[in-house]
Structure formats: C-alpha cells, structure tokens
C-alpha cells in the first residue's frame, strides 16, 4: 500500500476516534444532567447516540475516503484505501464502485452475482443488475447484456408492473442491445438535463454517448468525445475504455475492443476468514459497550433516580414553590428512623420528612417546620419514631459544634448557611 493511502486511512481512524470520544462525552453529560428523567428518555439518549454516531462516521468516510473516487476521480487510490486496512470494512456498494471504476470487472461481477444470490431489497438488486449491465456493455458482451435486461425486467415487473422505460440506464441498455442507436443517442441527450447527477454518472453518460456515436459511424466526432474523457478522468477506467475505442478508430479494426468473457467465480468470498473474524469481533465489542451503557443507565434510574423523581413530585404536590435542597436518612445505632428533606421556598428554608405507602410506590412529603431562622434552636420528633433531634442553622462554619450528627451546607438567596443536626436522643 502506498504512503498516501496509509495517510488517508490513518486520518480517517484518528478523526473517527476523536469524534466518537466527543460524542460519548456529550452523551454522558446529557445522562448526568438529566439524571432525574425517567427510563424511556435515557433509552432515547442511547438510541440517539447510536444514530448520530453512524451519521458522523459516514460523513467522515465521505470526506476522507469516498471523495477520492466521487470527487477526485482516482479509482486506483480509492480501491487501495478500501482494501488497505484489516479494520476498515467498507459497504459492498463502495467495494463494488472501487472494483468497477478501476476496471476490475471480474471482481465486480463476482460481488454482484454473490449478492444477487442472497435476499436483497429491490433497490439493492437493481443496483447490482445495473452495474452488471454496465460491465457487459463496456466489455461488449451483448448476449449477457440482454440476459441482464431480462433479469432486471423480471424484478421490475413485480413492482406495480413497471418496465425498463422507467429506468433510463437499463432502457438504454435494451435499446443498444437491439441496435437502436439513434434512440440511445436521444435518450442520453435528454438525460443531460439532470443537474443533480453525480460527476461519475456524467462522465459515464459521456462515454456511452461517444460509443453510440461510434456505432453510428461518426468516428471523428466519437474520437473527440473519447479524448475529452481521457483528459477529464485519466484515473478512471473510463479513460482506458476511451483509449480502446480510439485505437479501434485509428486501426479501423473493432477487434481492439475485444475483452475476455467474464464468468462469475463460484462460491466467491468477499471477506477472508480472518477479516470476517475481526469484523464480528468489532461488532460484538460495539454491541457489548452499548448494552453495558444502556444497562447502566437503566440501573441508575431504578436504583436512585426513581427515588429522586418521586420525591420531587411529592414536594411539588405539597407546594409548587418548593425546590429540593437535599435529603438524607436519619439513623440511630444502625436503626433507620426517617428520611429528612430540606427544601427552599421564597420564604426561606423548610424541613420535613418523606412518607411512603403502597409499599414505597407512592411518596408524600410532610412539612415539619417552615421559615427556619438562623440561630434558632429546634427540637422535634424524627418522623414517626420515638427519637427526637436537635438542630439549628449557623451562618459561620467556624461556629459549628465539633461532635454534630450531620451538617448540610446550602445556599439560599446568595448566602451560604449550615443546617446542623447536633444530636439524636430517645425519650422514654
């Protein structure tokens, strides 16, 4: 593999790796930010990540790899890049275009016939048959070209009774195989009005137009078209085809256009066993990572975020102006007593307890004290237990007692305060 092709592959993998890292970081950030949202939103994030990742990688491949063929028109380099790394597995479409545009007709026929033996959607079957038609047209195997037109029509007739006239390329092939060159010429002239056509399609149509002009005996006009193609796309197989026709014109001998008959290779293998093994390994790793990410997200929702969501719903049901500051369990010698909640409101800090029923499926919030004042000592029962707690709010951290049970630092109206539970006691 050339140094230039290695450079392309290296850039592709580096940019893909960096993009995947950035996307993963953004995804994790979204999960953290929206940690209290319920399960289906998290699953949507995972699916969205998968879709965006595929789109981004496809865009990167178009920029670094596929542009070599579809913009630079360098078929040999494109084919070299596609087959230059055991970790890069281009779609069959790209493998086909690389083989076809570089003049590797045998590989093109082998891949197309192999795919057609499997179950394909009509769109993919049409593509393979169209490419086979191009191959047999360019190699002047008109007997096989007629067979391909018949196979194409058989598939096409299953779709609302359409015929070859509905597909300009295959209709051209049918007209050409029937020797109706004037109709072929007119069909291509009408197709030139398509401003959205690929540059490859434009050059191909120009070549086919030159071939038709050649068949009509207008050799000098055909020569100018062939010379234009050689100048415009010297690194495509279309240039070597044009050269063949120029040689035939110069020698006045069509034998210069002869091409060996192409016979599909039985049991053709698109990927070697080693490549298939690597491909399966990459796919397994990808699915495992996504599965772990999804499982972790669901687990985090069920383990903690569902509690947060239910608690927020209960607090909002009590008072729409309340905002959760913090919650924590109160225990005495490993005996759970209650879950205390601190909430903020326009009137200041309030505290209360979490109550549950329906076996914990439904939460409620009981306000015990509103408008807590700084420096005021409070003494109250810990939920429904026989224990009582003493607490107060401090302005300065230095004023906190050394042996307190728990201290919560919070901010309200821009000021930092310290909610301190000083002790827990049981009253008999």
pLDDT tens column, 378-405: 999 888 888 999 999 999 998 999 888 9
Between the ranges 60-69, 215-224, 255-264, 356-365, where is the mean pLDDT highest? 215-224
What is the SS3 assignment for 13?
helix
Residues in the chain: 428
Q: How many CA atoms lie within 13 A of 126 on its CB side?
A: 18
Greater model confidence, 314 or 108:
108
Question: 392 near 377, Cβ under 8 Å?
Answer: yes
Quick one: CATH architecture of 90-100+111-265?
Alpha Horseshoe (1.25)
In which band, very low, low, confident or very high, does the pLDDT at 376 lie, cut at 50, 70 and 90? very high
| Residue entry with tokens 């047209």 | 137
Greater model confidence, 194 or 104:
104
Q: Which two tokens stand for residue 120?
A: 């394909």
Residue boundaries of the structural domains of the chain? 1-89+271-318, 90-100+111-265, 320-426
Q: How many CA atoms lie within 13 A of 85 on its CB side?
A: 18
pTM exceeding 0.75: no
Q: Which two tokens stand for residue 111?
A: 């891949």
Q: What is the mean pLDDT of residues 174-190?
A: 91
Mean pLDDT of the chain: 84
Among residues of the chain, what percentage have pLDDT more than 90? 32
Closest CA to 367 of 422, 322, 424: 322
Question: 264 near 109, Cβ under 8 Å?
Answer: yes
Integer Cα distance of 204 and 108 in angstroms: 16
pLDDT of residue 235: 93
In which band, very low, low, confident or very high, does the pLDDT at 127 lie, cut at 50, 70 and 90? very high
Q: What is the pLDDT of residues 51-108, one digit of tens each?
A: 777 788 888 888 888 888 888 888 988 888 887 776 677 777 888 899 999 999 999 9
Greater model confidence, 242 or 83:
242
Q: Which two tokens stand for residue 278?
A: 């690597």
């Amino acid at each position: 593999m050339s140094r230039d092709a290695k450079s392309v592959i290296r850039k592709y993998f580096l940019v893909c790796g960096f993009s995947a890292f950035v996307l993963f970081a953004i995804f994790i950030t979204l999960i953290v930010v929206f940690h209290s949202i319920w399960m289906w939103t998290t699953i949507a994030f995972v699916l969205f990540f998968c879709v965006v990742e595929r789109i981004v990688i496809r865009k990167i491949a178009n920029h670094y790899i596929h542009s070599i063929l579809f913009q630079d028109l360098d078929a040999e380099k494109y084919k070299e890049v596609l087959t230059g790394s055991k970790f890069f597995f281009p779609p069959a479409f790209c493998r086909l275009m690389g083989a076809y545009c570089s003049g590797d007709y045998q590989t093109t026929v082998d891949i197309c016939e192999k795919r057609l033996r499997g179950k394909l959607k009509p769109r993919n079957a049409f593509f393979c048959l169209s490419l086979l038609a191009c191959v047999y047209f360019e190699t002047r195997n008109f007997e096989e070209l007629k067979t391909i037109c018949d196979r194409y029509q058989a598939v096409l007739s299953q779709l609302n009774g359409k015929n070859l006239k509905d597909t300009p390329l295959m209709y051209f092939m049918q007209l050409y195989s029937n020797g109706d060159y004037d109709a072929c010429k007119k069909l291509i002239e009408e197709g030139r009005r398509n401003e959205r056509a690929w540059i490859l399609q434009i050059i191909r149509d120009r070549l086919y137009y030159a071939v038709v002009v050649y068949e009509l005996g207008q050799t000098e006009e055909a020569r100018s078209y062939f010379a234009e193609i050689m100048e415009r796309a010297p690194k495509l197989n279309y240039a070597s085809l044009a050269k063949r026709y120029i040689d035939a014109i110069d020698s006045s001998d069509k034998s210069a256009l002869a091409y060996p008959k192409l016979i599909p290779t039985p049991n053709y293998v698109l990927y070697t066993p080693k490549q298939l093994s690597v491909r399966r390994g990459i796919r397994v790793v990808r699915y495992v990572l996504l599965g772990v990410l999804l499982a972790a997200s669901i687990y985090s929702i069920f383990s903690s975020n569902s509690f947060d969501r239910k608690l927020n719903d209960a607090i909002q049901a009590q008072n729409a102006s309340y905002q959760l500051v913090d919650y924590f369990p109160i225990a005495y010698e490993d005996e759970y007593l209650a879950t205390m909640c601190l909430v903020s409101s326009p009137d200041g800090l309030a505290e209360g307890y979490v109550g549950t029923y329906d076996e914990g499926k439904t939460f409620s919030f009981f306000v015990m004290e509103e408008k807590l004042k700084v420096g005021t000592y409070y003494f109250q029962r810990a939920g429904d237990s026989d224990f009582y707690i003493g607490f107060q709010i401090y302005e300065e951290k230095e004023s906190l007692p050394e042996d307190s049970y728990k201290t919560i630092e919070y901010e309200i109206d821009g000021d930092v305060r310290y909610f301190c539970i000083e002790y827990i006691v049981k009253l008999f």
